[in-house]
Structure 1
Amino acid sequence: MALDRQRIPLLEVEATPLRVPELVDELSRYIREGSKRTVLGHNLHSVTLTLSDEGFRTLYQQSDVVLLDGAPVLWLWGKTGKAEGPVMDYRLGSTDWLPALDQVEGLERIAVLGAGAAANAEAVRRLQSLVPGARVTGFPGEGWNEDLESKALEWLHVEQPQLVLLGLGMPLQEKVLQRRLDDFPPAVYCAVGGAIEQLAGFQKLAPRWLGRLGLEWAWRLLLHPRRVAYRVLGEPWVLLWLLASRWVMRQLSGRRR
């Protein structure tokens, strides 16, 4: 059963808006089926990459679930009036749904792929406590290269996880999925960005009230100015240029007909 894809006004992308209980139901179904699935999320960074990179766009179009992650994407979707209940309930960053993994039926094997060795080990420990009936194993992703990617592939085939938390940061984790998804063993592959470090306590989460105001970007900019400055201050202008260029091309194409 395919999930309903909904258009995000102005941004020219689609998502599969879910709340935590609905995502838990989908994950339970995927694990019951034993199929290979992907769970991604849309924020302004991913939208920019989707509009500018064909491989990235194809991955998102073919993904089984595309959650509403970034506040601007959520707000624009909310203008469609398709939300049942508060719009904010549909904002699912990785740290919003990871605590509900203990509710996923049949979840017995979890793989944590990404982050440095210490953060990965601590995230594994916390997930074991969160989902006590599951076996949780980890593979650090620091210094990712072709050799490490091949070893990770071998490791996944040995571990045979049902759920993989892929936290290599965007767009590396999506590039890995583009390159390797066909070779990966059957599992639910969730691109979770920095959530492994956040789960481990190595990266401080923004207060949830800031998230509800759409101001997490300010928190990240304050804590990690070098890492996020371009994404927060520069990339939105790139996105506006991409959207404007596409609009102009459509107008020119329509006049030629």
Structure 2
Amino acid sequence: MILGRDRLNLLDVEVTAVQEHGMAGVLSGLIAAGGRRTVVGHNLHSCYLYHTLPAFRELYDSADVVLMDGAPVYALWKLQGHSAAPDTSFRVGSTDWIKHLGSVQGLDRVAVVGTNGTSNALACRKLETLLPGARVLGWAGENWGPERESSVVDELQAFAPNLVLVGLGMPLQETFLWHRRDDLPEAVYGAVGGALDQISGHQVLAPRWLGRLGFEWLWRLMISPRRVFGRVFIEPWKLAAILAGRKFRSTKTGASK
């Protein structure tokens, strides 16, 4: 069950046009379809990783849903004329769709993988409140390595979840999902990054109105300057160089034919 994709010509990536309020229906459909399903999101950081890490690219190319997580990604999609919607409802981050899990049909077992033990436990409790009657189990991402990874995979197989929220951070979570795709149990896997810490309250989520204006990066820069500085001020230029080089080579090849 792969939904339609829209190509963003400038970034050379594809995205899935889904509005926030439609995510419950999408997730219900993925659970009903069975198999291993993947939900990821694109921002400028993920676009850079997509063009530099093969495993990351393979996961995104095979994903069922590639949401428009970052404001620049949504803005470019809108500029290409894909939607006349006056709001930013097509820009959907992990915390945006997780809050609609209570409306997802067939969801009764949720696994939470990632962040530290305290934050993981708090996130699980919040999800239990959101999903009364569902079983929610957590596995912290501390000391992640081959041994810990194998143990988590075995325990996930025993738990047999419908949904797995993987918050190990980019690109570790995507590498894990791609390399262990044949070992993981059938479920919907959401690569949610720092959303687990936002759900638990360990990380303060930027006001949504700030995100709608495209300035969520400024909030993150103030909260975590060392982690975010390179992504905001350096990585976009690296991405631009990669895309420009690819365009130049393509043009040169076309001209020589």
Name the TM tier (shorter chain). over 0.9
Deviation digits for residues 27-63 of structure 1, max 9, x if unmatched? Answer: 1112123221000000001111111222221211111
Task: Map 1:129-140; keep pairs closer than 5 Å.
Answer: 129-140=129-140
Q: Specify the code of the residue in structure 2 equivalent to 1:206.
A: A
Offset of residue 233 of structure 1: 1.2
Contact kept, 8 Å, 1:95 with 1:195, in 2: the verdict is yes
SS of 2:164's equivalent in the other structure is strand
Residue 114 in 1 paired to residue 108 in 2? Answer: no
Equivalent residue number for residue 256 of structure 1: 256
Contact kept, 8 Å, 2:2 with 2:63, in 1: the verdict is no
TM-score, normalisation: structure 2: 0.97
Deviation digits for residues 62-108 of structure 1, max 9, x if unmatched? Answer: 11100000000000000122225235100110011111000000110
Deviation digits for residues 171-217 of structure 1, max 9, x if unmatched? Answer: 00001011101110000000000000000000001111110111111
* Partners of 2:35 and 2:188 in 1: CA distance: 7
Task: Tell me which moved more, 75-84 or 215-224.
Answer: 75-84
SS of 1:90's equivalent in the other structure is coil
TM-score, normalisation: structure 1: 0.97
Q: Specify the code of the residue in structure 1 equivalent to 2:221.
A: L
Offset of residue 9 of structure 1: 3.0
* 4+ residue segments displaced more than 4 Å: none
Q: Specify the code of the residue in structure 1 equivalent to 2:68.
A: L
Equivalent residue number for residue 46 of structure 1: 46
Deviation digits for residues 5-40 of structure 1, max 9, x if unmatched? Answer: 101131010011101232211211121232210000
* Partners of 1:143 and 1:254 in 2: CA distance: 49
* Partners of 2:82 and 2:221 in 1: CA distance: 32
Contact kept, 8 Å, 2:55 with 2:174, in 1: the verdict is no
SS of 1:88's equivalent in the other structure is coil
Unaligned runs of 5+ in 2: none
* Partners of 1:246 and 1:87 in 2: CA distance: 33
Offset of residue 255 of structure 1: 1.4
Equivalent residue number for residue 72 of structure 1: 72
Equivalent residue number for residue 185 of structure 2: 185
How many positions carry a matched residue from both structures? Answer: 257
Offset of residue 2 of structure 1: 3.1
Residue 205 in 1 paired to residue 212 in 2? Answer: no
Deviation digits for residues 120-147 of structure 1, max 9, x if unmatched? Answer: 0000000000111211110000221111
Residue 128 in 1 paired to residue 151 in 2? Answer: no
* Partners of 1:64 and 1:9 in 2: CA distance: 20
Equivalent residue number for residue 15 of structure 1: 15
Contact kept, 8 Å, 1:9 with 1:77, in 2: the verdict is no
* Partners of 1:37 and 1:168 in 2: CA distance: 18
Contact kept, 8 Å, 1:78 with 1:87, in 2: the verdict is no
Q: Specify the code of the residue in structure 2 equivalent to 1:173.
A: Q
Residue 142 in 1 paired to residue 116 in 2? Answer: no
Task: Tell me which moved more, 81-90 or 51-60.
Answer: 81-90
Residue 215 in 1 paired to residue 222 in 2? Answer: no
